[in-house]
Amino acid sequence: MTGDSPNPETSGDCQQPGSPFVRALLLAVLLATAGYVLLPYAVPLLWAGILAFATYPILTTLRRVVKKPILSALLMTVLFLALVLAPLLSFALPLTQEILTEVAKFRGFIQNPQATLPAWITHIPFAGARIQQWYQNFRTHTPSLSIFMDRLQSHLLTFGDRLFAIMTDAGKIAVKTLVLLLGLFSFYLKGPELWKGIRTLLLKWGGPAVEGPFGQIAPVTRGVVYGMFFTALTQAVLAGIGFEVARIPDALLLTFLLFFLALFPMGAVAVWLPASFTLLAQGRTLAFILFLVWNALVVGGIENVIKPIFIGRSSEMPFILILLGVLGGLEAFGIIGLFIGPVILAILQTLWQQSVREKTEQKSS
């Protein structure tokens, strides 16, 4: 009995609160370790969070019919897999193979000293003859051709190696796709609780001043996602009409490709501009000009109408700031920066507005 009795001194030591510095150090070590463990899957988890933010209103509507949260979260995840992810992956792999094939053809064309430009290039209004003349001068000027070939070879090899690595690294892609789906399911199921916990911690550490900036994350994220999606959808419909009227080959395939690329800034141009040259190859110069005008003014101009409508409703950010956030985020963080950039600028704008308002109130009091 004596050996089992608690030691008062030991019990008293265990009940002491301990050093705040040690607790903070342990917490920092744990957070750093957790961040190191999750770092390889940070991008899929961020994508899952962004998509959950954007589609949560749909989940709320679905839960009116499917009452069990786990079933509604599972159904939303399956719908995302079937309607978005599966078509995107099935379309991306053949497209990557086609790009590699075209890159190889272009490399062979440049390396062939007897290669000539297609005949339809001479039909390009105002520029065809100049392009032909420039090409002839370029071919006969050996130093320029040698320098160009060396740089082109380097860029093409780098580009081809990256695409080939993406195609062959199927294991990592599968794992990250699984992480994305599991993260999306978890955010659908426990998203509100997680969001409430993050909000509580921020209010505890930062005080009431973080309430305004924190509240900008959800609406700005939804505004950017909706703006990009509906802009790409509208551009694809309008461009598809142009493809069909102009009788561009593979119009439906080009329309789907344009929809996916239009999610990125100036992505639609990468589809309709090369497609327009098929009209020149057929000798249809007037159709070529009208097709360019339609896509440049209507398809390209609609982006400046739809995006401000959706993103402007979600925040008080001016459109130029949103555009800088999208472009800067894309350059700094890659594709996911399309959403991170505007959110960061929205939070900074809110903090700045709060600071100005507080100083104004202090002066007036």
Q: What is the DSSP letter of 16?
A: S
Query: DSSP string spanning 299-321?
Result: IHHTHHHHHHHHHHHH-S--HHH
Measured CA angle at 82 (ends 314, 95), to 5 deg: 90
C-alpha dist (Å) from residue 11 to 5, 14, 94, 227: 11, 5, 68, 60
Structure tokens at 154: 């380097």
Instruction: Specify the pLDDT at position 291.
Output: 92
The pTM assigned to this predicted structure is 0.68
pLDDT in tens, the chain (365 residues): 455 555 555 555 555 555 777 777 888 898 889 888 888 888 888 889 888 888 888 898 998 888 898 999 999 999 888 887 777 767 666 666 666 676 677 777 766 777 777 766 766 666 777 777 777 776 676 565 566 666 666 665 566 566 555 555 667 777 888 899 999 999 999 888 888 887 787 777 777 777 777 777 778 888 888 888 888 899 999 999 999 998 888 788 888 888 888 887 778 888 888 888 888 777 788 888 899 999 999 998 888 788 777 776 766 777 778 778 888 888 888 888 888 888 888 888 888 887 787 778 777 76
Nearest to 184 by CA among 81, 337, 330: 81
Instruction: Find out whether 52 and 191 touch, Cβ atoms under 8 Å.
Output: yes
Query: What's the 3-state SS for 112-169?
Result: CCCCCCCHHHHHCCCCHHHHHHHHHHHHHCHHHHHHHHHHHHHHHHHHHHHHHHHHHC
The encoded tokens of residue 81 equal 């897999």
Distance CA 52, CA 205 (A): 26
| Confidence (pLDDT) at 294 | 93
Structural Rg of the chain based on CA atoms = 28
- Locate the domains of the chain by residue range: 41-206, 208-356
Number of H helices, E strands in the chain: 17, 0
Give the per-residue pLDDT at 1.
47
Residue 184: which residues within 8 A CB-CB, separation 6 or more? Answer: 48, 51, 52, 76, 77, 80
